[in-house]
């Protein structure tokens, strides 16, 4: 499992990272080493865990959100297949 932790006010870093990876794969997947493509193709559970200070005696409030990696996995698999390699 891959986890990104950030303060709620800082936004959704894990989502931004996955979207940036998608853009890289769309533009220059052919430049990526096969090992990196395989790592992306195997991404499964990526969660964004955020927290905020409640300002009360209870302290911090945590919540998690699953980040959809299906498109980046598919792009990586397609590039590996194009090269004749297995994911």
Helix (H) or strand (E) holding 38: helix 34-41
Structural domain includes residue 10: yes
Is 50 inside any structural domain? Answer: yes
DSSP 7: E
Quick one: pLDDT at residue 48?
A: 81
pTM for this one? 0.74
Looking at the structure of the chain, the number of domains it has is 1
Q: Where in the sequence is the domain holding 36, given as residue range(s)?
A: 2-82
Rounded CA-CA distance 20/69 in Å is 12
Q: Is residue 73 part of a domain?
A: yes
Integer Cα distance of 10 and 49 in angstroms: 12
The whole-number pLDDT of residue 55 equals 73
pLDDT lower than 70: segments of the chain: 1-11
């Amino acid at each position: 499992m891959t986890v990104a932790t950030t303060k709620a006010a800082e936004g959704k870093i894990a989502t931004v990272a996955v979207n940036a990876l998608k853009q890289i794969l769309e533009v220059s997947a052919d430049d990526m080493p096969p090992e990196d493509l395989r790592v992306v193709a195997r991404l499964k559970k990526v969660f964004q865990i955020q927290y905020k200070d409640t300002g009360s005696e209870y302290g911090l409030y945590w919540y998690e959100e699953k980040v959809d990696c299906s498109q980046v996995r598919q792009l990586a698999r397609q590039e590996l297949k194009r090269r004749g390699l297995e994911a």
